[in-house]
Amino acid sequence: MRTLGLDQPEPSITHVPSARSRRVQGMLVLVPLLVGCMIVSMGAGAMSMSPAQVVSILFAKVGLPPLATFTDQQAAVIHAVRLPRVLMGALVGAALAIAGAALQGLFRNPLADPGLLGVSGGASLAVAAVTVLKVNLLGLHTQPVAAFGGSLGAILLISSLARGNGRTQVATMLLCGVAINALCLAGTGLFTYLSTDDQLRTLTFWQLGSLSGATWESVSTLAPLVLVCAVGVTLLSNPLNALMLGESNASHLGISVERLKWQLVTLVALGVGAAVAFSGMIGFAGLVVPHLIRICLGPNHRVLLPLSALLGATLLVLSDLVARTVVIPSELPIGIVTALTGAPFFLYLILRQRRLPVS
């Protein structure tokens, strides 16, 4: 199988000042952009608030003087509903984007996506199973725990199938991921067919993705898992840069390629599984975001990974803002918004690859 190559120039892992400079420049743009989007998103909705009021409510929490007057009801809405929802959106977007960037580097394939390995498919199958079979061992936590377990189960099965003669073949892992993902989606379709009307409504809403269930409890559970994924993947930036030169060249540079594959797959399963468990199926974020950073700042993973996390967080906060406000008083599933953005970009990538010379 021919592996589609990244069309950008090969990265240089020796130009550390240049990479650091681009990373700082990117952060100077993306950090204020993320903060601004979070403030605007918290102020939008049925109870509209100005950015100054939102900032004042947040300032009051830490004892700083307010910039504008606000009511107790507005403060309650921010603290109890919109702040945890915005934080969850940022965490989910960061997890999906940095996982997509890591998988594209691992497979040296610009079309790789967290869903490609069956992570999302495994979560979907597990949630469909516990819903239709009426499993409720953990109360409100049953569905998130099932989704996380399904994700990990899928990735472990794929990894074991792809391992032979003491090595894990990346191309085989990719093909196994596609097959397992198809099986998981078929199983989800079967459970959906067997579901009642109420179960069908629950499954459909979860599969389309939503942040409406965000609470401080869910945010505090998700945050450390995403942090471990983001920090762990970022620490593997230099080995990922070496891997883009080919597995043999990476081995000659002292990289343990086999251990690197397992580390990346485990971290991706942790971050994406946790994100999908709390937000449902949100596609294309892991595909689109790394490409936007790569087009603007190049393929060096020391720049690509942290900035993908920031841009992924920003785009998902904006997508949730659109989902909440475009059809007020109803709410559009966020997966529809990200699909409307990601699908045209996916088609653009396919058409662009067709114009590249065959290697």
Separation of CA 338 from chain center:
11
* Percent of the chain scoring above 70 in pLDDT: 90
pLDDT digits (tens, 9 = 90+) for 310-331: 999 999 999 999 988 887 777 8
Does the pLDDT at position 6 exceed 50?
A: no
Sign of the Cα torsion 221, 233, 128, 112 reads positive
Q: State residue 227's pLDDT score.
A: 93
pLDDT band at 30 (very low <50, low <70, confident <90, very high): very high
Look at domain 81-342 and name its CATH class. mainly alpha
H helices within the chain, ranges in order?
16-43, 51-61, 72-77, 83-107, 119-132, 142-162, 170-194, 197-208, 216-235, 237-243, 247-252, 257-279, 285-297, 301-325, 334-354
| Coil, strand or helix at 201 | helix
**All residues at 6 or more sequence positions from 317 whose CB lies less than 8 Å from its CB, including other chains:** 34, 37, 38, 41, 86, 89, 90, 93
Does the pLDDT at position 2 exceed 70?
A: no
Distances (CA, A) of 228 to 22, 100, 222, 332: 24, 16, 10, 31
Q: State residue 356's pLDDT score.
A: 58
Counted residue by residue, the chain has a size of 359
Q: What is the DSSP letter of 2?
A: P
pLDDT band at 4 (very low <50, low <70, confident <90, very high): very low
Does the pLDDT at position 55 exceed 50?
A: yes
pLDDT digits (tens, 9 = 90+) for 248-268: 888 888 888 888 888 888 888
pLDDT digits (tens, 9 = 90+) for 291-305: 888 888 888 899 999
The whole model's pTM is what?
0.84
Q: Nearest Cα to 101, choosing from 291, 247, 276, 246?
A: 291
**All residues at 6 or more sequence positions from 276 whose CB lies less than 8 Å from its CB, including other chains:** 119, 120, 123, 124, 147, 148, 151, 282
- 343 vs 306, more confident: 306
Range with top average pLDDT, 15-29, 34-48, 126-140: 34-48
Mean pLDDT score of the chain, rounded to an integer? 83
Distance CA 274, CA 335 (A): 16
Amino acid (1-letter code) at residue 332: L
Q: Nearest Cα to 292, choosing from 5, 2, 8?
A: 8
Burial (CB < 10 A; 0-12, 13-18, 19+), residue 67, is: middle
- 230 vs 13, more confident: 230
pLDDT digits (tens, 9 = 90+) for 204-249: 777 788 888 888 988 988 899 899 999 999 999 999 988 888 878 8
Q: What are phi and psi of 196, to 5 degrees?
A: -80, 180
Average pLDDT over residues 198-202: 81
Q: Are the beta carbons of 113 and 339 closer than 8 angstroms? A: no
Sign of the Cα torsion 152, 158, 161, 165 reads negative
- 124 vs 43, more confident: 43
Q: Nearest Cα to 273, choosing from 185, 178, 153?
A: 153
Q: State residue 357's pLDDT score.
A: 54
The region that residue 139 occupies, defined by phi over 0 for left and psi between -120 and 50 for alpha, beta otherwise, is left
Q: State residue 97's pLDDT score.
A: 93
Assess whether the previous peptide bond of 306 is cis (omega < 30° from 0). no
Average pLDDT over residues 131-155: 79
pLDDT digits (tens, 9 = 90+) for 85-137: 999 999 999 999 999 999 888 877 777 777 777 777 888 888 889 888 888 77
**Segments making up each domain of the chain, as ranges:** 81-342
